[in-house]
Amino acid sequence: MIQRIQTIYLLIALLISAFLPFEFYLQTLNDYTYTILFGLNTSFTLVSIMYFKKRQHQFVLNRLSIILNLILLGLFLYSSLNLSRETLVVSEKGIGMFLPIFAIVFLALANKSIKKDEDLVKSADRLR
């Protein structure tokens, strides 16, 4: 399980979605919508790591996690664009708004590695 590179990518994405939102400044983390979406994203990534023998399930769960990260990114951008100018001066934006982008990158890298493994298994089956 751990010897495959996609597991490393998934562990990094899990770290980004599970622990880093509480370390970095997120202006609207008090909202339950963001907490629920980060929780779903974390659970999809964790289940994807556990499905190391089922590559197709991993691929689908990673795609769902990418979609959740895109929704989170859209919600963060929408909330930051709707702030008034006075609030923008007082509040400082952190890197926390861009955590979904980093998670999407690592999930895409994991999907690329899963696809490469799947192609390797299919080519080995063809040779038999």
pLDDT value at residue 90 = 45
- Determine contact, residues 91/83, Cβ cutoff 8 Å: yes
pLDDT value at residue 127 = 65
pLDDT value at residue 123 = 87
Read off the pLDDT of residues 12-48 as tens digits, 9 standing for 90 and up.
Answer: 999 988 888 777 666 555 678 888 888 899 999 999 9
Given a cut of 90, whether residue 106 has pLDDT beyond it is yes
pLDDT value at residue 82 = 76
Chain CA centroid to CA 43, Å:
10
pLDDT value at residue 108 = 96
In angstroms and rounded to an integer, the radius of gyration of the C-alpha atoms of the chain is: 17
> DSSP label at 16?
H
- 100 or 31, greater pLDDT: 100
Name the band, by pLDDT with cuts 50, 70 and 90, for residue 124: confident
Per-residue H/E/C for 31-78: CHHHHHHHHHHHHHHHHHHHCCCCHHHHHHHHHHHHHHHHHHHHHHHH
Mean pLDDT of the chain: 83
Read off the pLDDT of residues 72-91 as tens digits, 9 standing for 90 and up.
Answer: 889 888 877 776 555 554 45
pTM for the full model? 0.84
